[in-house]
Chains A and B, each alone.
Chain A
Amino acid sequence: MTDISSLAGPLVNGILWGGLFALIGMGLSLVFGVMNLINVAHGDLVILGTYFAFFLSTGLVLRQDLPIAMDPILSLVIVMPVMFGLGFAIQKLLLNRAFTVSAEAPLIIAFGISLIIQNTALKLWSPMSRSLTPPYALDVFVIGPLRIRLVYVIAFVAALIMVFLLREFLRRTYLGRAISATAQNKKASHLMGINTDRVYSFAFAIAMAVSAVAGICLGLIFSFTPQKGIQFLIIAFGVVIIGGLGSIVGTLLGGIIMGLVMTFGGFFLNLNWQMLLLYLIVIVVLAARPQGIFGR
């Protein structure tokens, strides 16, 4: 029925998409691991990063065309610090206080943030479906029978770089170790003289900086609307849940599994089945092994 060699396409694309999904999952995983909070606004924050890049590359905001045209990948120089600062502010001003209010307060506040971001993006950029279209957006490598899009490779390489950087950062720097220590035991870290509130702020800010990279890669590969946030939140959560908490390499594997499910779902069935399969896997893994497949 289907030629074995035709499966190579979805296989390679799935692995490459996995890089993007891992990038999206990384920020969620970091926040989840450090402060045990599922940031339900994560998907929206990633999309917000995409929109920042969209703004910088097209100059389009509030139906006006500003004379800006920056390469989306180059725009990282601006988007990353902006998202870092935004993350720091959200954690310092809102979430750190929420942790002292009650157990469900951070979750509800994250919901509020998600609402605010979604509707702000709707106001600024309308509900139209957009995508980042630099000149190389449709460039293709041809390797034998395979046609591989350049942007998929860019996303995958970006994911590998971020995995490496994040791992080295958490292992080697003082702040990285403080983050790991706080994730393991907040009280003990506090007693050891770590300013845990500040560590939380930095952790969230770093998660947002990673999400900025994720957002730009997302815009290069998929089309986006302000309301796509929840879809990417669930994908990110699936990545985290399959990869297991706190394991950065696991996150990469989780991303690749999600990517493969998506491309093969699209190959054998159709677009709707693709998403249904993805969500079903999340719920089944959650019900069967909430600590993750690769988690301990």
Chain B
Amino acid sequence: MKSIISGLERFMKLTIPGLGRWSIPLVVAIVVLAVLPQVGMPRAWITYLFQFFMILTVANIWSLHAGRSGMITLCLAAFIGLAGYTMTILSYFGIPLPLGIVLGAIVAAVFAFLVFFPVYRLKGVYFAIATLVLPQILQYVFLIWDPVGIPRIGGGAGYAVRGAMLFSRVDVYWMALAVAALSTIVILVVSNSKLGLGLGAIRDNDNAAASSGVDVFRLKLYSFVIGAFIVGLAGGVLYLRSQYIQPISAFNITWQMTAIMAAVIGGLRIQGGPIVGAIIVAILYFWLSGYPGYSMLAQGIILVVIMLTVPQGIVGALGRLRGTRVHRAALQLATTIADRIKGKDNM
């Protein structure tokens, strides 16, 4: 058994360099999550996990931008909405929806590529605000522009996604899982690669990085466009599920807030941080869904508290505990309890 695992691990290392010790847990998690709907998972859980996959994807990408590349981007909604709209519009011209999702992501990536040239020159807060304006601009573009030419619904500007009925909840679940898995793998591969090293150097000190021969512009561009593509995929899946798109909700800031929340709560610069953060945000989302509005309020308060008390996030804080007295005490407690339980079994 052990040799199989180590063989598998070596195999994974060969195929996806950079995944390292995360390859086995990752593959196991993906397989288990993919099989779950087939073995009678409750319907509600499909909804929960779908939401979790979406949160995880945006959190991953935001941590790629803000945590690893030093770019505070506030335009995730632009990519989500643009990709969703591309898919929806193309569905009226006979393009199948899965292809539409990919094309939507490509449109989002091209958009990211084009806007990056003017936006890159801005530093710090100017950069953040410029990216904040982008989704707002797109929102009004889609309120004005009517590319399909049918009577629209929802504030006079909404479209139904044509043919979305043909995809079941489970189909969409699998697509969301694929996107979330892709985003997680990309984060791991990027952070363990030369690109990640360069991005980290830029984040810590861009002048020093540039003078050491790091191509700051190109690396940030890669990070920005890769993120746009993956968030675009997520946007397509999101609107395939909701079967309906309209400018006000497509370009609103909620997903951006969610991404910040999950990434910061888990740990912005720490591997595994977005996953833990996404789990917490998803649990909060459903736990408080009976009390509309309180979920976001709670998330805002948690965000502020975490940022002030443990800015490295929950995963970072736990990591820092290792080796301290608290950690040792917890370990000791755990082993005594385990021994007691074992003792009971023997009796």
Q: Give the B-binding residues of A (Cβ under 8 A).
A: 32, 36-38, 40, 94, 97-98, 101-105, 107-109, 111-116, 118-120, 122-123, 230-231, 233-234, 237, 272-273, 275-276, 279-280, 282-283, 286-287, 290
Encoded as 1 (CB less than 8 Å from any A CB) or 0, chain B from 49 to 60 comes to 000000000000
- Contacts A119-B297, A286-B129; A234 near B303 (Cβ below 8 A): no
A105 / chain B contacts, CB cutoff of 8 Å: 307-308, 311
Min CB gap A35→B, angstroms? 11
- Contacts A104-B66, A115-B300, A279-B140; A98 near B130 (Cβ below 8 A): no
- Contacts A109-B308, A112-B307; A283 near B137 (Cβ below 8 A): yes
Residue among A97, A103, A115 with the highest chain B CB neighbour number at 10 A: A115
Contact of B133 among A109, A116, A123, A283 (CB under 8 A): A283
Taking A237-B129, A287-B122 as known contacts, 4 extra A-B pairs with beta carbons closer than 8 A to each other, sorted by chain A number, are A40-B132, A109-B304, A273-B140, A286-B122
Which residues of chain B (257-273) have a CB below 8 Å from chain A?
A: 257, 260, 264
Contact of B299 among A115, A231, A287 (CB under 8 A): A115
Question: Are the CB atoms of B126 and A290 closer together than 8 Å?
Answer: yes
Interchain residue pairs with CB less than 8 A apart (18): A37-B125, A38-B129, A40-B128, A94-B304, A104-B72, A105-B311, A109-B308, A112-B300, A114-B300, A116-B300, A119-B300, A122-B293, A123-B294, A230-B253, A273-B144, A279-B136, A283-B133, A287-B118
Contact of A115 among B128, B136, B137, B297 (CB under 8 A): B297
Question: Are the CB atoms of B304 and A116 closer together than 8 Å?
Answer: yes
Question: Are the CB atoms of A108 and B140 closer together than 8 Å?
Answer: no
Complex CA–CA separation, A234 to B303 (angstroms):
23
User: Closest residue of chain B to A274, judged by CB?
Assistant: B140
Minimum-distance CB pairs A-B, first 5: A115-B300, A276-B140, A287-B118, A112-B303, A112-B304
User: Closest residue of chain B to A284, judged by CB?
Assistant: B118
- Contacts A115-B257, A234-B132, A234-B136; A97 near B296 (Cβ below 8 A): no
Contact of B307 among A40, A108, A273, A282 (CB under 8 A): A108
Question: Are the CB atoms of A111 and B260 closer together than 8 Å?
Answer: yes
Encoded as 1 (CB less than 8 Å from any A CB) or 0, chain B from 117 to 153 comes to 0110110111011101110110011011000000000
Question: Are the CB atoms of B130 and A286 closer together than 8 Å?
Answer: yes
Min CB gap A99→B, angstroms? 11
Complex CA–CA separation, A217 to B72 (angstroms):
33
Question: Are the CB atoms of B133 and A115 closer together than 8 Å?
Answer: no
Encoded as 1 (CB less than 8 Å from any A CB) or 0, chain B from 283 to 301 comes to 0000000000110110111
Interface size on B, residues (CB 8 A): 37
Question: Are the CB atoms of B125 and A38 closer together than 8 Å?
Answer: yes
Min CB gap B44→A, angstroms? 25
A103 / chain B contacts, CB cutoff of 8 Å: 124
- Contacts A123-B293, A276-B144; A97 near B308 (Cβ below 8 A): yes
Question: Are the CB atoms of A101 and B311 closer together than 8 Å?
Answer: yes
Question: Are the CB atoms of B128 and A38 closer together than 8 Å?
Answer: yes
Min CB gap B126→A, angstroms? 5
Question: Are the CB atoms of B128 and A116 closer together than 8 Å?
Answer: no
Complex CA–CA separation, A283 to B121 (angstroms):
13
Complex CA–CA separation, A271 to B122 (angstroms):
30
Residue among A103, A113, A233, A272 with the highest chain B CB neighbour number at 10 A: A272
Contact of A112 among B124, B128, B129, B301 (CB under 8 A): B301
Complex CA–CA separation, A40 to B129 (angstroms):
9
B253 / chain A contacts, CB cutoff of 8 Å: 230
Question: Are the CB atoms of A94 and B137 closer together than 8 Å?
Answer: no
Question: Are the CB atoms of A111 and B303 closer together than 8 Å?
Answer: yes
Contact of A108 among B129, B130, B264 (CB under 8 A): B264
Complex CA–CA separation, A230 to B133 (angstroms):
9
Contact of A290 among B122, B132, B300 (CB under 8 A): B122
- Contacts A108-B260, A122-B293, A276-B137; A101 near B308 (Cβ below 8 A): yes
A113 / chain B contacts, CB cutoff of 8 Å: 300, 304
A276 / chain B contacts, CB cutoff of 8 Å: 137, 140-141, 144
Complex CA–CA separation, A103 to B311 (angstroms):
11
Complex CA–CA separation, A247 to B264 (angstroms):
35
Question: Are the CB atoms of A107 and B126 closer together than 8 Å?
Answer: no
A280 / chain B contacts, CB cutoff of 8 Å: 137
Question: Are the CB atoms of A107 and B143 closer together than 8 Å?
Answer: no
Residue among A105, A280, A283 with the highest chain B CB neighbour number at 10 A: A283
Complex CA–CA separation, A140 to B134 (angstroms):
37
A115 / chain B contacts, CB cutoff of 8 Å: 257, 296-297, 299-300, 303
Complex CA–CA separation, A230 to B264 (angstroms):
21
B134 / chain A contacts, CB cutoff of 8 Å: 283
Question: Are the CB atoms of B257 and A111 closer together than 8 Å?
Answer: yes
Min CB gap B328→A, angstroms? 28
Residue among B130, B134, B299 with the highest chain A CB neighbour number at 10 A: B130
Min CB gap A33→B, angstroms? 12
A118 / chain B contacts, CB cutoff of 8 Å: 296
A287 / chain B contacts, CB cutoff of 8 Å: 118-119, 121-122, 130
Complex CA–CA separation, A174 to B257 (angstroms):
40
B128 / chain A contacts, CB cutoff of 8 Å: 38, 40, 107
User: Closest residue of chain A to B131, judged by CB?
Assistant: A283
B133 / chain A contacts, CB cutoff of 8 Å: 234, 237, 279, 282-283, 286
